[in-house]
Structure 1
């Protein structure tokens, strides 16, 4: 006999009472706190507050629905009904989601678009990307010796990496990136910004390691549309975080 979910769940459990709308508000709050979800609810309520004054035009609403339908390949009322059923969403919930997303997008643009240029200058050093080759050893004197060998043309950096490094370094010949300069250790990132492609840096100490690094290629970030939208999202997230923290401090009992 096939066992069903109903057979395995206590009908007086929080799950059963929640599904049957028999659970108290106090218990719901307790469950949200228990499972670490209450902060997400607080965040969403903050979002509702910041977008409450946004009024959408009919053209924006039509465009929002059209974009959503295209993204999810919804071409008919039947397709939409199938999508709602598969995602366990009611039609009012779906409409609320689309309109809320449109309002949030408008709020972000209106609030932060004018601040992107100056914020870009603040973030540029972290957003620039680089590829580089790195050799790490635990002796300064060895690192200095290897650096001089490569600098004087007596040895090849890749060969030294194979000789002195193992694991991932063997598979990549010590090549890293390209990735944003917010990823490497700050000491290494600062050094990379000072190098020219092909230039080798004297040994750097990072924790217990002494690093010999050569910049392979530098990729300055461009303020294109993709980067602009990313920075708008960063500014928005920072604002929401501040408001969430402020509201918790000011409104808690």
Structure 2
């Protein structure tokens, strides 16, 4: 009996006149930077493989998957499958997989969310603040005194003098998380009381006059809990992907 040669060409994909063999796939994935995405999906398959769903959970997962993808009719369902080149069985697989992944996240990191929240809280707190920025130190000082001593409206001066997009909103920015503003500005806001006006401060190329309007402390509600759960999982997943790519790099055995 003839055995297949290691050089046999078994095409797995046809693109016009181009035929791709199985041996071509991995180098192409690596060349076009798609290998990390494949490794990520394979790792997710591994961690969800042993999680079982009840028929009710499966039905709920499919319903949630279709709702997320805005598929609300049989026609849209067929178009969804055709556009992605997947079958009905694939749709069920992806829907159940998403539910299983959520369960895996809860099993692995659910008990750690509260302590992680406490670590992250200072960056999750939100602030609403007013800002005037200018490259002229003297102008910034003048505007500060016009607000503090003369009682001129911050919003009016921001619209007239601020050199950033905040001029369009009368200097008002937010609410935004404290991780969003420049670190110098974030430190000022984090120790401010509502209504507190700060003298001009150098922030990069700007001189800024800032006033905290409202402080909105972060709370561990369901949306925040899910966000932090996703963060913990994604951090772990990235580490696993990077370790796998290192182990399987072309130079790993050199």
* Fold equivalence (TM over 0.5): yes
**Kindly tell me: are residues 198 and 50 of structure 1, through their superposed partners in 2, closer, same or farther at Cα, counting changes over 3 Å?**
same
1:142 Cα offset (Å): 3.3
Cα distance in 2 for partners of 1:214, 1:168 equals 17
1:169 aligns with one of 150, 166, 169: 166
- Secondary structure at 1:182's aligned position in 2? coil
- 1:181-220 matched pairs, under 5 angstroms: 181-220=178-217
1:186 Cα offset (Å): 1.1
Normalised by the length of structure 1, the TM-score is: 0.82
1:91 Cα offset (Å): 2.1
Cα distance in 1 for partners of 2:204, 2:83 equals 51
1:81 Cα offset (Å): 4.5
Query: Hey, what does 1:36 align to over in structure 2?
Result: 33
Query: Hey, what does 1:73 align to over in structure 2?
Result: 72
- 1:49-68 matched pairs, under 5 angstroms: 49-68=46-65
1:166 Cα offset (Å): 4.0
Task: List per-residue Cα deviations over 1:69-91 (Å, max 9, x = no partner).
Answer: 566325x7x77555433543212
Cα distance in 2 for partners of 1:211, 1:199 equals 14
Gaps of 5+ in 2: 1-10
Cα distance in 1 for partners of 2:77, 2:169 equals 48
Query: Hey, what does 2:227 align to over in structure 1?
Result: 230
1:30 Cα offset (Å): 3.0
- 1:47-196 matched pairs, under 5 angstroms: 47-68=44-65, 72-74=71-73, 80-81=77-78, 83-166=80-163, 168-196=165-193
1:235 Cα offset (Å): 0.7
**Kindly tell me: are residues 162 and 37 of structure 1, through their superposed partners in 2, closer, same or farther at Cα, counting changes over 3 Å?**
same
Task: List per-residue Cα deviations over 1:165-201 (Å, max 9, x = no partner).
Answer: 2462332111111111111111111111111221111
**Kindly tell me: are residues 52 and 19 of structure 1, through their superposed partners in 2, closer, same or farther at Cα, counting changes over 3 Å?**
farther
Task: List per-residue Cα deviations over 1:35-77 (Å, max 9, x = no partner).
Answer: 3212111111121222233233333223323444566325x7x
Gaps of 5+ in 1: 1-13
Query: Hey, what does 2:21 align to over in structure 1?
Result: 24
Aligned CA-pair RMSD: 2.7
Say which structure is richer in helix: 1
Alignment coverage as a number of residue pairs? 238
Normalised by the length of structure 2, the TM-score is: 0.82
Task: List per-residue Cα deviations over 1:1-41 (Å, max 9, x = no partner).
Answer: xxxxxxxxxxxxx9x72479941123222332333212111
